[in-house]
Amino acid sequence: MAAYYFSRFGHVAAYSDPPLTDLSNMKALFLLLTGFILVGKPSLQAHPSFTGCIKTLPSNLSDYFRSVATGDWGSVSTWESSPDNATWSAATLTPTSLANTISIRNGHTVTVSSNQDMDQVIIAGGGILFHSANTLTVNDGTGDDIIIQSGGIFTLASNNNEPQFSGTATVNINTGGILRLSATGLTNAGTGVHAANYVYQNASVLEYTLNLAFSSNNVIFFPNADAVTIPIFRTTSNLGLIGANNPTVINGLYEANGTITFDNSGTKTFRNGIIGTGNISSVAGSGKFVIDGATANLGGTGSLTLPTAGMEIGVSTTVTMVSDKAITGNIALLSNALVILGTHNLSMTGDISGGSATSHVVTNSTGKLVLNNITGVPRIFPIGGNTTTIDPLAIYNGSNLNYGARVEIGINPSIRYPIAAVNRTWVVNPSGVPAGAVNVNFFYSNGHGNALFNYTTAVEQGFYTGVWNVINTGLVQAGSYQVATTVSSFAANTDAPMVLGNIPAILEVNNSVQLAAQKQNDKVMLNWTATLLSNTDRFIAERSADGRTFTSLAELPAGSFSFTDMQLFPGLNYYRIQVLEKDGRRTYSNMVVLLNAAKGAELVSILPNPVTTGHFKLNISAAQKVLAEIVITDVQGRLIHKQTASLAGGYNQITMQENNFSPGIYFVYSVIEGERSKLLRFVVQ
């Protein structure tokens, strides 16, 4: 029997029976074995290994190897091999450190249960290399010797039996790659996973899955991670007491997804912050917690209970909140330490000390600093609208409620005369309705006022409830740029924006000038009365389409008290009278609103709001004379009060009684000819 041998990239095949005796049959064989090339010459001697079929010779030790299924490293069925990393066939031997690249692919778990040596191993995303027993030797070849790609996992599960490294062999944990610890004895100081053989990239993960304590006495996790490389140390199980009388340092981000309690006097440093779903606690005598990286994160759904020594935010450290966080205990801000809230709340039972222009809580969005259980002792909120300014609040006599606070740069919504006000809006939100007046002290600095703000004269306090109200006036500014006030108009779980301005920057209402208006066909008749005219130079009738930006309609002498507007805007028209005094001061009358439409009405405002006197004024603008039904509901939509009102075409003010209303939040709307108006919200105290 004749046999012919062909080779394709190192693999050999033979064909026999019938024997090939001429060139045409040779060509036929080439067509059959596409891509194979002839090696040597035809031989008339039969080869005993072939019996009428194609055979594959064994894999070479220097081949590329890749996993073909989950299995043991020492089983050939786990692997396939290739001489060129392109053409693959079932392996006939298992890979060693002599192999070219060895890849563990997505969906495959390769277990090392016998003595194995390896090099150039790549654990792809979704692949797992699992060291369960015996010796795993990593040889020192060119470049990294084991690479854990994003989503790949290298599990160390052999107790007190870490991989053995030849020379400077390395395991490189890429961003998103996981080195999983499921074995004891591998976290001692300077050894195991802390050895230089492990190279942790930014956002790589060291995952500790045991429910036994990891080593902590003078232990540094990620000892070679530089300031901009932030690996993650993740614990997944509930752990008992952790800590020693010597420091524990995590040069990265700590992610606790199980409960953990820290003990003993050694400092616990979480260089780049704390996150996770697990609750973190500490015994009273535990060493202080420290976050001191240039950048750090703080968040996670788990609670954080600090030791009596508290937590320190280090020099020039910026901590960014990545979720809401509840903390029990005190935080100390060192120089140039910042906590940036963004949209997240930081809730604390304790206090934050060390506030300054460059060390404070940055309220750059909707997130608030929440201090719990405010009693008669002043609690300081070291808040600032950006990283270089601080405008704190002190709150006390808070009826043991929790208070959230933030401050933003600018006045929002705008007041009547912002150029004469502090260019800040403080927002306070209590967890309930206070039992009485709450002390709120405002702090600011020279330069925080707008161009015409006077730092030495009296100020007034604005409180926003859909419209600005002046709740305190004649307030004296202390020499250190602070104003002490009391607030009796807080509503539960409701944001209360507040501002400070020189009198009368917030409303600029001249109570001696009262404006009334009536709509007649397509025109509006403005009439006003005025007292105390001795200093009045002239009046200016003004109109606005939005109640904020006004334009002049006419300038009138001090003896004039009427004006007719012949060109109305469609929809709502806002009117006011500007009063120019002889001394150059400008004040304003009350504002009235008229609806330019064929029918309907608009609710304009409620005064006062919050309601404290048993009654309030409901301002309504009607397109024409009409009968309206006024409806008041609570926050659940339940009917509280209903009454009928006869509206004149124009601006109407209706007195509403609320003597029987319980304190809380209510809504009012009108119904005219079956059409419902917009809602207005008001608070009863």
Judgement on whether residues 608 and 465 belong to the same structural domain of the protein: no
Q: Based on the domain organization, do 443 and 584 belong to the same domain?
A: no
Residue 247, in any domain of the structure: no
Residues 564 and 638 in one domain: no
DSSP single-letter state for residue 24: H
The answer to whether residues 554 and 419 belong to one domain is no
Does residue 45 sit within a domain?
yes
Phi, psi of 26 (to 5 degrees): -60, -45
User: Would you call 320 helix, strand, or coil by DSSP?
Assistant: strand
Contact 469, 608 (CB under 8 A): yes
Q: Are residues 474 and 383 in the same domain?
A: yes
Whether residue 475 sits in one domain with residue 379: yes
Hey, what amino acid is at 456?
Answer: T
Q: What is the CA radius of gyration of the chain?
A: 39
Q: Are 407 and 394 in contact (CB under 8 A)?
A: no
φ, ψ (nearest 5 deg) of residue 677: -85, 180
Question: 274 - beta bridge partners?
Answer: 254, 298
What is the full DSSP assignment across 258-313? S-EEE-SSS-EEETTEEE-SS-EEE-TTSPPEEE-SSEEEE--SS-EE--TT-EEE
Q: Does a structural domain hold residue 447?
A: yes
pLDDT for res 548: 57
Q: Evaluate whether residue 275 is within a structural domain.
A: no
Tokens of 323: 């979720």
Location of structure tokens 């909707």: 366
Residue 277: inside a domain, yes or no? no
In the numeric block, the tokens 């120019």 are attached to 580
Q: pLDDT, tens digit, for every residue of 350-371?
A: 999 999 999 999 999 999 999 9
Report the relative pairing of strands 496-502 and 424-430 from DSSP bridges.
Answer: antiparallel
The DSSP element (H or E) to which 563 belongs, if any, is strand 562-565
Peptide bond into 18 cis (omega under 30): yes
345 shares its domain with 491: yes
Domain boundary among 594, 623, 641: 594
* Residues in CB range of 31: below 8 A, 6 or more apart: none
* 388 and 478 share one domain: yes
* Residue 333: per-residue pLDDT: 98
Question: How many structural domains does the chain have?
Answer: 5
Reported as a single tens digit per residue, the pLDDT across 635-664 is 888 899 999 999 988 888 898 887 778 888
Give the pair of three-digit tokens for residue 127: 């692949």
Residue 315 in any domain: the answer is: no
pLDDT of residue 547: 67
Same domain, 659 and 527: no
CATH number of the structural domain spanning residue 648: 2.60.40.2550
Tell me the one-letter amino acid at 60. Answer: N
Whether 297 maps to a domain, the answer reads no
Mean pLDDT by 10 residues, the chain (685 residues): 37 41 40 37 38 61 98 98 96 97 98 97 98 96 95 97 96 98 96 97 98 97 97 96 97 98 97 98 95 98 97 98 98 98 98 97 97 97 98 97 98 88 98 95 96 90 82 83 92 96 76 84 89 85 79 92 93 88 76 86 78 82 90 88 89 83 87 86 77
Kindly state whether residues 582 and 614 are assigned to the same domain: no
Whether 460 and 415 map to the same domain: the answer is yes
**Which pLDDT belongs to residue 488?**
87
Q: Domain range holding 186?
A: 62-210
Q: Which residues pair with 207 in a beta bridge?
A: 180, 234
Identify the pLDDT of residue 46: 38
pLDDT of residue 549: 66
- Which of 560, 594, 628 is where one domain is finished? 594
- Looking at the fold, whether 374 and 462 belong to one and the same domain comes out as yes
Pick the last residue of a domain from 478, 506, 534: 506
Residues contacting 94, CB < 8 A, separation 6+: 65, 73, 74, 75, 76, 78, 79
Sheet holding 438-443, edge to edge: 379-381, 393-396, 438-443, 482-487
pLDDT of residue 72: 98
Residue among 394, 471, 502, 402 nearest 440 (CA) = 394
Contact 32, 39 (CB under 8 A): no
Number of alpha carbons in the 13 Å side-chain half-sphere of residue 138: 23
Q: Is residue 263 part of a domain?
A: no
In three state form, how does the secondary structure of 81-147 look? EECCCCCCEECCCCCCCCCCCEEECCCCEEEECCCEEECCEEECCCCEEEECCCCEEECCCCCCCEE
In Å, how far are 210, 243, 268, 300 from 263, measured between CA atoms? 18, 5, 10, 22
